[in-house]
Amino acid sequence: MKVLHVFDHSIPLHSGYTFRSRSILKQQHALGIKTCHVTSPKHGNDEASIDVVDGLTFYRSAPTSGVMSKLPVLSQMANIAPMVKRILEVIEIEKPDVIHAHSPALNGLAALKAGRKSGLPVVYEIRAFWEDAAVDHGTCKEGDLRYRLTRKLETHVVKHADAVTTICEGLKNDLIARGFKQDKFTVIPNAVNVEQFDVIKEKNSQLEQSLNLMGCHVLGFLGSFYAYEGLDLLIEAMPDVLKNNANVRLLLVGGGPQEQNLKHQVSLLGLEDKVIFTGRVPHEEVGQYYSLVDLLVYPRKAMRLTDLVTPLKPLEAMAQGKIVLASDVGGHHELITDQQNGFLFEAGNVEHLSNKISELLANDELRESQILRGREYVEDIRNWPNSVKKYQPLYQQLSED
């Protein structure tokens, strides 16, 4: 069995593919599934080329050219033709059994065109609805023309793909509500490589001292600072939290579009010595920062994006033996069962958030009871071997039809 994966421009040039993609490909190889790989013109290469990353061969599509490539909206559609051409070239070389396109929908559309010409079945994988992410990023508004066109294109690709996978139940249920049959979808959930995470048993004392966190209860968030993450709500909760425990500090590791707004909010509230911004840190050092945190907080705001899509960070925290407190949006509900493998609070409710933080920081026994359960959850359920093995019967059925 050989699968041709079609990837997006979000695949970074320095590594060749994203974290989820890397985990999927490595696990597919462990299961005996051979793979080959095409990336879209958005990858940013100057010409059609071949790169080898981690022993895997990536065929890069040629860049776009002509008038269409320079026009708004149409420039996106201009990526399809060179991608179809590259996919068909790779099919001749690699002789795959199945084409597996990863969202966004433009990749799916190119895969469908190549699939029709080659007679190969197409699997389309959805990791998020891109129009909803665009709403949060401010590049479109819910219901405007760009939003509707993107949604319509996604629906078109889903309709014509031979099978569709999603990363969570929320995305699948939204598509079923559009009139598709349930048996068209397979959920391949986000997971972690458990063997890459050790349970953290002690703090990095040198880093703790350098950040002036000795003797403090540390709240933490490690990730990208997007508006939907709700970090402004967490900062807003800090004054009330500090009334109950003056030794609480908030550690924010990472960066993103909201960073300056968050720093301004901290300044307005006079919390400069209570909230620590580290900036982005090298991947190999992230574990040291995790070691300092007593409670990981994920205060995502309620909106379509957060209700439909599950994040990855809470799973990484559980794998390291960390306690998680998250808003009760739909995406978190798929990962966290309150008081079993973590804790939930009412999304958008700052008072409930601050009360929950104070309650958990004051109860060592309650927190400790969740550490083992969180680790067991990722060991037994949310690990990549469990997730990726669901592809195998799907590929097999499509290649035999």
Taking a C-beta distance cutoff of 8 angstroms, is the pair 318, 377 a contact?
A: yes
Instruction: Specify the long-range contacts of residues 177-180, CB closer than 8 Å, at least 24 apart.
Output: none
Residue 391's CB is within 10 A of a number of other CB atoms, namely 24
Q: In this predicted structure, what is the pLDDT of residue 385?
A: 93
Q: In this predicted structure, what is the pLDDT of residue 15?
A: 43
Q: In this predicted structure, what is the pLDDT of residue 91?
A: 97
Residue whose C-alpha is closest to residue 243's, from 221, 262, 215, 271: 271
Backbone angles phi and psi of 264, in degrees to 5: -65, -40
Domains and CATH numbers, the chain: 2-191+383-400 (3.40.50.2000), 194-381 (3.40.50.2000)
Task: List C-alpha distances in Å: 92 to 116, 261, 266.
Answer: 14, 51, 57
**Stretches in the chain below the pLDDT threshold 70:** 9-18, 42-46, 64-78, 138
Integer distance in angstroms from the first to the last C-alpha of the chain?
A: 14
Q: In this predicted structure, what is the pLDDT of residue 53?
A: 78
Backbone angles phi and psi of 3, in degrees to 5: -120, 135
SS3 13: coil
Question: Alpha-carbon dihedral of residues 82, 87, 89, 92, nearest 10 degrees?
Answer: -160
Q: In this predicted structure, what is the pLDDT of residue 200?
A: 93
User: Any alpha helices (H) in 252-322, and if so which ranges?
Assistant: 259-268, 286-290, 304-308, 313-319
Taking a C-beta distance cutoff of 8 angstroms, is the pair 250, 219 a contact?
A: yes
CA angle, 235 then 333 then 259, to 5°: 25
Q: In this predicted structure, what is the pLDDT of residue 7?
A: 86
Q: Which amino acid is at 191?
A: A
Q: In this predicted structure, what is the pLDDT of residue 75?
A: 57
- With tokens 């540390």, the residue in question is 218
Question: Alpha-carbon dihedral of residues 363, 302, 223, 370, nearest 10 degrees?
Answer: 30
The residue ranges of DSSP E strands in 48-147, in sequence order, are 49-53, 56-60, 98-102, 122-126
Q: How does pLDDT run across 230-253, given as a tens digit for each residue?
A: 999 999 999 999 999 999 999 999
Taking a C-beta distance cutoff of 8 angstroms, is the pair 7, 100 a contact?
A: no
